[in-house]
């Protein structure tokens, strides 16, 4: 019987006995929904990135939705988003009856282009959502002051970063609100999950309410009240709904895993960065294959590594034959049927996305696996 070829995976979460122990401890308790573990994780996360308030949610998509919903913008107002992003960034606008305005990207790092951002702005715009693609930082030192002058809400989409520092400031602390992803492939994982963060106490309270059906008292705090015998007339069961909310809350099972993963995050980031350095060094002399960004920084926490090749599809097929998993991570959002009506003029995006190939990168990837990918890239480059 012929052996099945073993692929080098594109992404892979990193788990150990610590996560299993945390789950077992939780299973011994009678509560795995929203509870004390979520609170602990939120506090640890706030301390880690250096922000006042964090609210655990089911995904970064949920966080982005809540971020815009919390402000109750008038219908048909506009949100500036990069054309090269995951669909959730633009979908958050549609969920709130707002319109996405697609901004072109920088050719050298795939992030939102500041000059085109200024051009696309109109008085109907109410928010901007910069996305740190692959963990590489947007030009927040330009975007934030400009946005404040225009009275725009700045929502940092940090789905691709956790622990990255840009110009001495942690990514996720530049804007008014930041949204993180703990999905299976991300910097750290809770299976699915995410976090929405802010320095505003009022916004954090709104996030909490919106994430749990709009209730003004979450079930864990009410459960604790029910256990108290100090006041037998305490209406622990009572709550009010003043806002239309969603079922977006994190649970204790996710949070227990997240707390363990957070302790490993710096190590995860270092290992990924080492992988990126290997790739950059390995392909620097290639003529037809180039990295998706120009300048590497040790302070940045890179999540993804991609290359550009004018013979993208041919390269993907070649690497597949070698047992190397790849992807074209994003089709630009305005190219999807749902978003075509928004008439995006994004020539750089239209050009660059046709050349992008995402390569294997995760914290447990072995040096010999990266070396094999590099060897294969060089082989392809030499033939072409």
The 3-class secondary structure across 283-318, one letter per residue, is HCCCCCCEECCCCCCCCCCCCCEEEECCCHHHHHHH
pLDDT beyond 50 at 112: yes
How buried is residue 341: exposed, middle or buried, by Cβ count under 10 Å (0-12/13-18/19+)?
exposed
Q: Rounded mean pLDDT of 122-150?
A: 97
* Structural Rg of the chain based on CA atoms: 22
pLDDT tens-digit readout, 180-198: 999 999 999 999 999 999 9
Pairing relationship of beta strands 194-198 and 53-57 according to DSSP bridges: antiparallel
Q: How far apart are CA 23 and CA 28, in angstroms?
A: 9
Q: What is the pLDDT of residue 367?
A: 96
Answer whether CATH 2.70.98.60 is correct for domain 17-212+247-383.
no
Sheet containing strand 356-359, edge to edge, reads: 290-291, 305-308, 356-359
CB 70 within 8 A of CB 203: yes
Other CB atoms within 10 Å distance of the CB of residue 164: 24
**pLDDT tier, 55 (very low <50, low <70, confident <90, very high otherwise):** very high
Q: What is the pLDDT of residue 233?
A: 64
pLDDT beyond 50 at 3: no
Identify the weakest region by mean pLDDT among 56-60, 80-84, 102-106, 235-239.
235-239
Q: What is the pLDDT of residue 317?
A: 97
Report residue 133 as tokens: 């693609």
Identify the weakest region by mean pLDDT among 98-102, 140-144, 237-241.
237-241
pLDDT beyond 70 at 228: no
Mean pLDDT of the chain: 93
Q: What is the pLDDT of residue 231?
A: 64
pLDDT tens-digit readout, 57-86: 999 999 999 999 999 999 999 999 999 999
Q: 228 or 23: which carries more pLDDT confidence? A: 23
Q: What is the pLDDT of residue 241?
A: 74
Q: What is the pLDDT of residue 1?
A: 36
**Between 36-49 and 219-227, two packed helices, what is the crossing angle to 10 degrees?**
130
CA angle 67, 70, 72 (to 5 degrees): 120
pLDDT tens-digit readout, 246-299: 999 999 999 999 999 999 999 999 999 999 999 999 999 999 999 999 888 778
**pLDDT tier, 2 (very low <50, low <70, confident <90, very high otherwise):** very low
CA angle 166, 83, 192 (to 5 degrees): 70
Q: How far apart are CA 150 and CA 161, in angstroms?
A: 26
């Amino acid at each position: 019987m012929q052996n099945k070829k073993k692929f080098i995976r594109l992404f892979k979460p990193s788990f150990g006995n610590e996560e299993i122990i945390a789950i077992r401890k939780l299973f011994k308790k009678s509560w795995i929904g929203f509870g004390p573990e979520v609170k602990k994780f939120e506090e640890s996360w706030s301390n880690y990135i250096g922000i006042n308030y964090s609210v655990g949610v089911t995904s970064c998509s949920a966080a982005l939705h809540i971020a815009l919903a919390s402000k109750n913008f008038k219908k048909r107002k506009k949100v500036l988003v990069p054309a090269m992003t995951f669909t959730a960034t633009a979908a958050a606008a549609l969920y709130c009856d707002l319109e996405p305005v697609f901004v072109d990207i920088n050719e050298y790092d795939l992030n939102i282009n500041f000059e085109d951002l200024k051009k696309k702005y109109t008085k109907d715009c109410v928010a901007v959502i910069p996305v740190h693609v692959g963990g590489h930082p947007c030009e927040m030192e330009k975007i934030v002051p400009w946005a404040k002058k225009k009275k725009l809400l700045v929502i940092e989409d940090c789905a691709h970063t956790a622990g990255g520092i840009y110009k001495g400031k942690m990514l996720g602390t530049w804007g008014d609100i930041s949204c993180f992803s703990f999905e299976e492939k991300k910097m750290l994982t809770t299976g699915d999950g995410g976090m929405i963060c802010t320095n505003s106490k009022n916004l954090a309270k709104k996030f909490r309410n919106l994430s749990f059906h709009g209730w003004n008292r979450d079930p864990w705090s009410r459960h604790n009240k029910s256990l108290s015998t100090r006041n037998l007339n305490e209406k622990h069961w009572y709550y009010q709904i003043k806002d239309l909310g969603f079922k977006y809350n994190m649970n204790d099972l996710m949070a227990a895993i997240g707390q363990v993963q957070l302790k490993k995050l710096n190590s995860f980031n270092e290992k990924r960065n080492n992988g990126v350095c290997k790739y950059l060094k390995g392909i620097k002399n290639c003529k037809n294959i180039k990295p998706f960004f120009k300048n590497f920084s040790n302070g940045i926490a890179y999540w993804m590594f991609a290359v550009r090749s004018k013979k993208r599809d041919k390269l993907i097929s070649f690497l597949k034959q070698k047992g190397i998993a790849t992807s074209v991570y994003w089709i630009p959002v305005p190219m999807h049927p749902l978003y075509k009506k928004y008439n995006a003029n994004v020539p750089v995006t239209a050009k660059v996305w046709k050349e992008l190939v995402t390569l294997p990168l995760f914290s447990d990837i072995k040096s010999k696996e990266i070396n094999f990918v590099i060897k294969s890239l060089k082989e392809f480059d030499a033939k072409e």
